[in-house]
Chain A
Amino acid sequence: MIAVAVTSTWYLVLAAVLFGIGLAGVMIRRNPLIMFMCIELMLNAVNLSFVTLANHLGDIGGQTTVLFVMVVAAAEVVVGLGIIVAILRRRPGATADDLSELKG
């Protein structure tokens, strides 16, 4: 057994990796629902980063921010799913590439 102390750095690296995965997902995936999930992943990476830094600094500010981010993310889900459902109802299986009526 190798005992390794899990320091703040580990969490920050994890947050950065999660953020990177979310970022790559938004760029690569074309299903609007999955793109949206990847954005949620990015938001949660931000939350992890805020909490870790707040713990590291011994400051309550970062933890309060996380509460605001969570509430706003919930509101965004409601609106986003509404818009996505409105589109998929008219055009089942539409991907982000199909949405190209407007261009130029």
Chain B
Amino acid sequence: MISALVASDFATPHVDYHALAPEIVLGVGICLLIVLDLFLAESRKWLVSTVAGLILLGAVLPVVTLGVIGSDVRSMFDGRYVIDNFSLVLKALFLLSGYVVVLMSSRDTEERTPYQGEYYTLLLTSIMGMVMMASARDLVSVFVALEFLSIPAYMLAAWRKRDSKSNEAGMKYFLLGVFASAVMLYGMSLLYGVTGSTRLVDIGQAVTGTDHLVGVQVLGIVFVIVGFAFKVSAVPFHTWAPDVYQGAPTPITAFLSVASKAAGFVALSLLVFLAFPAAKSVYEPFLWVLAAVTITVGNLLALKQKNIVRMLAYSSVSQGGFILMPLAVAGTGDARTSLRAVVVYLIIYAATNLGAFAVVMAVSRKTHSGEIASYGGLFNYAPGLAAVMTLFLASLAGIPPFGGWYAKFGAFKAVLEARTGAAYTLAVIAAVNTVVSAAYYITLMREMWMKPAPDGDESPVRVPRNLVAALVITGVATLAFGVLPGFSGYGAITGLAGAFGR
């Protein structure tokens, strides 16, 4: 047995350490964080959040050097783990939005939980899973990355263990998340059975010819997409999202609604563009329906919400539908335009939504309430917060000249370029919904600018420095992406994201 192993032609795989540097920095950093937490006195625990932020920024460095050095594709493990421009852009997105979440968390966790070390360790672990997802090009690595990012997120959602709402959020997220993984895995096993490989590119070559797609292939594709539809909370698989967003600690809500969702979309685009390019007759109608229903139902349910976190939750469900839109025409339209639209939307949506949740956190420090009515009079006692919140809401609604407008423009452009009846119908549905969505964003704006404070208390809100930093980063990003879509660097980034390496 052993001699057979020795005699086999096993060759040590080539490992490109520079390409793996972000993952290595994160991995070593996570271990350091655990050890550091052990030896810190209770009064100095604030160091943990600082170090966690530094680790994330440290992991961005190699991403930048890789991007500067060149656009060649670095492929490892027989093409199962690939660092190309697409993955670099998304790694930077995951790490930076993780950094903003750390900034948002620091004061909140200091005041509310004695388990700071564990909190940041789990947060960093989840980000590591996302970073791996951007490079995964194999069913197994996609699955492992997905679980790597989900399992810590289940624990973070249930973080306030004495709060029954947080418990309930964790439980719902866990059961539905694992259920979705099981459905997705069954789909993967079927795909493996009909194609004989777990590599996405090989699957893409085996699933060919729209006329002789066998039933098992169709079943496999549908199951895998359903699994990820849960992750990106597409209607009708969205029911967990508002409950989990409301019950989880607010920084974690921001994290789930942005980074976790983005990771789901990354996996979905990997599958659509690499594994199913020839199966557009299967995935396009399916994603078309998902996109149309997600945008519409998300919006209609957001209209009647009284709690701001639930309103933002349904708004993020509906925004997810806009990101599904380019994927629904990925086969008939131009694949590069579609992929670019998805990536640009993810980047801008991340900046905007994180910012909106940062404002929610800042305001709730004073009002201790999540009701939309409690935002009355915000402009009088906190004009700065009211102004940035208006910026984020306008961006989410897609009003020019803010970032969200440019993101929606890209999504519509990708859909219209497909030039089919179905694509035009989808664009019309989305356009109508953009108008509907403005209604609930403007309701909140009116509350902030025109109504008086509900209890007459107009003492100013004290915003901690970390939260100010998070607001500045997200606010500047939201504004810059909209006002200067062509500024140097950004155009290059969107161009970079246009192609997959093999």
Contact = CB atoms under 8 A, between A and B. Distances in A.
A64 B140 contact: yes
B189 A32 contact: no
Contact of A65 (B140, B181, B186, B190): B140
Nearest to A16: B186
Interface residues of A, number: 44
Interface in B162-182: 162, 164-165, 167-172, 174-175, 178-179, 181-182
Contacts of A54: 192
A62 B186 contact: no
Given A61-B197, A79-B155, A102 B243 contact: yes
A59 B194 CA distance: 12
Classify the secondary structure of B's interface with A: helix
A69 B310 CA distance: 34
A22 B182 contact: yes
B189 A99 contact: no
Contacts of B185: 43, 46, 69
Contacts of A59: 196-197
Contacts of B164: 87, 90-91, 101
B85 to A, nearest CB: 28
Contact of A99 (B151, B162, B172, B242): B172
Contacts of B186: 19, 42, 45-46, 49
Given A46-B186, A102-B243, A72 B144 contact: yes
Contacts of A68: 140, 143-144
Contacts, number: 124
B167 A90 contact: yes
B140 A83 contact: no
B158 interface: yes
Interface in B239-295: 242-243, 246-247
Given A50-B189, A61-B192, A65-B192, A80 B178 contact: yes
Interface in A12-58: 12, 15, 19, 22, 26, 32, 35-36, 39, 42-43, 45-46, 49-50, 53-54, 56-57
A1 B263 CA distance: 55
B236 to A, nearest CB: 14
B155 A57 contact: no
Which of B140, B158, B168, B197 has the largest number of chain A CB atoms within 10 A?
B168
A102 B169 contact: yes
A92 interface: no
Contacts of B165: 101-102
A46 B243 CA distance: 29
Contacts of A49: 186, 189-190, 193
B147 interface: yes
Nearest to A80: B174
B126 interface: no
A99 B168 contact: yes
Contacts of B140: 61, 64-65, 68
A12 B170 CA distance: 34
A15 B247 CA distance: 36
A20 B243 CA distance: 27
Contacts of A90: 162, 164, 167
A87 B143 contact: no
Contacts of A104: 242, 305, 307, 310
A36 B170 CA distance: 14
A80 B176 CA distance: 11
B198 interface: yes
Interface of B: 139-140, 143-144, 147, 151, 154-155, 158, 161-162, 164-165, 167-172, 174-175, 178-179, 181-183, 185-186, 188-190, 192-193, 196-198, 242-243, 246-247, 305, 307, 310
12 contacts: A22-B182, A42-B179, A43-B182, A49-B189, A56-B193, A72-B143, A75-B151, A83-B155, A84-B171, A86-B167, A102-B242, A104-B307
Given A80-B175, A102-B243, 18 more contacts: A19-B182, A39-B175, A39-B178, A42-B179, A43-B181, A62-B192, A62-B198, A65-B143, A65-B188, A65-B192, A68-B140, A68-B144, A72-B143, A76-B178, A83-B155, A86-B161, A102-B169, A104-B307
